[in-house]
Amino acid sequence: MNTAGHSKAFTKLLLHLHPKRVNAQSIKFTRTFGLGGISSLFFVILFASGMLLRFAYVPSVKGAYDSIVELQNEILFGQLLRNIHYWSGMGLVLVSFLHLIRVFYSQSIYHDRRKNWFYGLLLFFLVVFSNFTGYLLPWDQLSYWAVTIMANMLTVIPFVGDFLADMIRGSNEVSETTLLRFYHFHTGLLPLLMVAFMSVHFWLIRKSKGVTVANMENRETVPTSPHLLYKEMFVALIVIISLLVLSTLVNAPLQEKANPLISPNPSKAPWYFMGVQELLLHLHPIFAICVIPSAVIFFLIYTPYMKFSDLNVGVWFNSEKGKKLTIFSIIFGILFTLSITLFSEYWWNGTQLMPNVPSLISTGLLLALFYMIPASVFLYFLKIKYQASKIDLVMACFTIIMMAYLVMTIVGTFFRGEGMSLFV
Amino acid sequence: MRLFEQKINRRNFIKRTIQAILSLNVLYIFSSLLSNKKEGNTLDEWYEAGDINNFKNNHIYPYSSAHFYLSKIENGGMLAISTKCTHLGCAVQFNQSKDMFVCPCHASAFSKYGEVVSPPATRALDIYPISIQDNKVMVNVTKPIKRQKYEASQLTYA
Ligand code: FES
């Protein structure tokens, strides 16, 4: 028997996730910033620490909170374990989001990579949903009310909203059924689905010959081991060390035990949903929860299917001009979103200014148009003044959406205090 | 779309049909597992709020464990107002100094009749049916009534 070969089976398997040789250009750090790899590293860490946490956690209204407290106070390294799980969860949302942005701007979502972009979006959705279902498990005030708000957000969706909300809650309120349901999503179904989709995601990358590079013809290859492997190990080491340092220094938050009678003031959704919650403060719920998010999702899915004449797959921002226009759009997106936030906070009170108009129009449609019309004028300006092509405009749209979300997330997270009022 | 361009022959047809039936099955099982569990509501639906003579006009009485406020207005009419904010379901609290219900989550405010004073909430707070038997005020906490705004007909008198 070839024992040596067998004993290395595991290492060999890991190595075979990569091809034998890789394009020298594609392993430059600045090509991908290792974002996809870091995401999968976080996934592995989450999986391992999560499996361990299961031994301490009691998924019931009576036991959940106390089991977390016990984990933190009585069990050796319990707090550290929870912190690692918490911070890599945050890290995964952040890094996979950056990964999404990287892939978009480096034009890596067209032609045969369309499918993979689609699986990527699906994975991103699963990541956010995993994070959100994990949010409820400590059963403290923060998690209880964040989930109450989010579930009620669903009820706004016409026709299926109530059904959806009841389906995730399992009753009319956030209750023990909800806790159990979230626990099984979080520790069972979702990780399993993610493993499945991740495999497809990775396989599709190999099928389209690795990550995109600026000129595909120039294929100067180097052996994967050691060239790519060393880089990967180096990045992984840095990530793991920073995670350990962070988890030693900063504890995962735990508030008072959940109390269905009192909403804390302010009650905020988890930070990655703060953008949506911020929208809710300004816009009619149908627009904030239904119209705008579906428009954005449609935009993300549809973009790679549009016809472009001048794609530059693998080139950041498509061209030098594209880079310049993206910078303009960043500036426009930030300033304009900020000003309209203030405008709607202090001057535009639709229902009071127009008491006879239905609020769907006064605080919904009109306010949305206040945003969309200047944004379209801006896009038109780019088109006329700089002869922006279709791909440039699509990137500008994407940039404005991202900036709007970023600004709203920051405003909601850092600048809203008691009663969710803005302190400036 | 590719899906429709593919030729339909017998082999494909059978494959598709089996796939469709299987996925419908999975979907059905999954959705029935996740459907709303009706908890057998054998509990007393009627919550006893107290003797009618204990309530003063123009006052608000909290019953937070039963998730409602009893609001008695100037002319003696009563409303049992749900604490569940109609925006996204946080628990509203009565603020004495502002004389309003305020929601901590997104700053909606409601009058003592439960009517929206400031958005984002778009409709008045739900109310519960009140019935008065032998001077006892009873509130049916299992039947919230949705309403757009306050109307005099919603009041219950002794
Ligand atoms: S839940 Fe009350 S204002 Fe949003």
- Beta carbons of B64 and A260 less than 8 Å apart: no
Tokens of A124: 């991103």
- Beta carbons of B89 and A265 less than 8 Å apart: no
Q: Which residue has a Cα nearest atom 1 of ligand 1?
A: B88
Please tell me which residue, A92 or A261, carries the higher pLDDT value.
A92
3-state secondary structure of B58: coil
Q: How far apart are CA A167 and CA A181, in angstroms?
A: 10
pLDDT on residue B42: 46
Expressed in angstroms and rounded, the spacing between residue B93 Cα and the centre of ligand 1 is 11
- Beta carbons of A167 and B34 less than 8 Å apart: yes
Do A69 and A79 contact (CB within 8 A), yes or no? no
Q: Can you tell me the mean pLDDT for B69-86?
A: 81
Stated pTM of the model: 0.86
> Which residues of chain A lie closer than 8 angstroms to B36, CB-CB?
166-167, 170-172
Of the given ranges (A333-337, A362-366, B62-66, B151-155), which has the lowest mean pLDDT? B151-155
Q: For residue A303, what is the enclosing H or E element?
A: none
Q: How far apart are CA A318 and CA A303, in angstroms?
A: 15
Question: A302-306 — which CB contacts under 8 Å span 24+ positions?
Answer: A303/A104, A303/A109, A303/A394, A303/A398, A304/A109, A304/A110, A304/A113, A304/A114, A304/A117, A305/A114, A306/A390, A306/A394
Q: How far apart are CA A181 and CA B118, in angstroms?
A: 35
- Beta carbons of A265 and B39 less than 8 Å apart: no
pLDDT on residue A71: 93
Of the given ranges (A3-17, A127-141, A233-247), which has the lowest mean pLDDT? A3-17
pLDDT on residue B43: 52
Q: Check if B120 has its Cβ closer than 6 Å to any atom of ligand 1.
A: yes
Q: Which residues pair with B138 in a beta bridge?
A: B48, B131
Q: For residue A112, what is the enclosing H or E element?
A: none
Q: Check if B85 has its Cβ closer than 6 Å to any atom of ligand 1.
A: yes
Closest among A29, A274, A50 to A146, alpha carbons compared = A274
Number of inter-chain CB pairs under 8 A, A vs B = 83
Place of tokens 């106390």: A66
Cβ neighbors of A275 (< 8 A, separation 6 or more) are A404, A405, A406, A408, A409, A412
Distances (CA, A) of B72 to B52, B60, B137, B158: 10, 6, 12, 11
Rounded to two decimals, the ipTM of the complex is 0.73
Q: Which residue has a Cα nearest atom 4 of ligand 1?
A: B106
Q: Can you tell me the mean pLDDT for A364-373?
A: 84
Do A18 and A211 contact (CB within 8 A), yes or no? no
Q: Check if B121 has its Cβ closer than 6 Å to any atom of ligand 1.
A: yes
Average pLDDT, chain A: 85
Q: A321 pLDDT exceeds 60? A: yes
pLDDT on residue A6: 62
Expressed in angstroms and rounded, the spacing between residue B79 Cα and the centre of ligand 1 is 21
Q: Mutating which of A114, A115, A145, A361 best tests the B interface, going by the most B Cβ atoms within 10 A? A: A145
How many helices (H) and strands (E) chain A has is answered by: 20, 2
Within A303-389, residue ranges assigned H as helices are 320-346, 350-353, 359, 366-386
